[in-house]
Amino acid sequence: MKKAMILMYDGFEEIEATTIIDVLRRAGVSLDTVGITGIQVAGAHNIRMMLDKKFMDVNPDQYDALIIPGGHGTDNLTRSAKLMETISKMYNSNKLVAAICAAPSVLAKAGILDDKKATIYPGMERELPYPRDERVVKDENVITSQGPGTSMEFALAIVRALVGADVVVRLKEDMVL
C-alpha cells in the first residue's frame, strides 16, 4: 500500500486539503495528515482540523509522497529547514512531491522546480522558473495545480501517479465525475 503525507498549517485552503484527503483515502492510499506546528490547525476560512501527526515526529523515508495544499501562510513553510530538506530529499529519492495553489512556490524555494514545468495560482507565475497555464502539470515526480477549483483534478493526478489509472477510472465512476 502506498503511503503519503499531506502537510497542514494554519491558513491552509480547506477545499484543496479536504478534497485531497478524501480522494486519496477512497483510492486506498494510506494518508497521514501532518501538522507543521502541531496537531490542530485552522484553515483560511476558519475550519479547524485535528491531524494525525506532527511534522517533527514523522520519518519522511516511510512515505511515497509529500503533498502541500495552498492557502495563506505558504511563505511561512519556507522557514522550516526540516521541511525544505524533506522536500529535496523526497524529490531526489524519486518520490512524488505535489503542491497546489500558492504551495508550488514552496517547491520552487526548495530548489526542485529549477528544471521542471509547473503551474501555480494565477498571478503568482513569477514564483516559478518555467510556469505553465494548465490546471494540473505533472513533470516526472512533481505534480502542481492552480487552486481550489482544480483540487479534484489534482487529487486524481496524485492517485494516478501513486496507484494507477484503473483506480482513477473507478473513483470517477464512484464519485459520478
Q: What is the pLDDT of residues 95-127, one digit of tens each?
A: 999 999 999 999 999 999 999 999 999 999 999
* Fold for the domain defined by 3-174: Rossmann fold (3.40.50)
DSSP 3-state of 11? coil
End-to-end, the C-alpha distance of the chain in Å comes to 25
Strands in 142-145's sheet, in edge-to-edge order, are 53-54, 30-35, 3-8, 65-68, 96-100, 142-145, 136-139
Cross-strand partners of 153? none
101 is catalytic: yes
How many residues are listed for the chain in this entry? Answer: 177
Domain spans in the chain, listed from the N-terminal domain onward: 3-174
Of these residues, 58, 96, 99, 101, which one is catalytic? 101
The predicted pLDDT at position 54 comes to 98
Helix 165-174 × helix 14-26 angle, to 10° = 110
Give the pLDDT of residue 65.
98
Mean pLDDT by 10 residues, the chain (177 residues): 97 98 98 96 97 97 98 92 97 98 98 97 97 98 98 98 98 97
| pLDDT confidence of residue 73 | 87
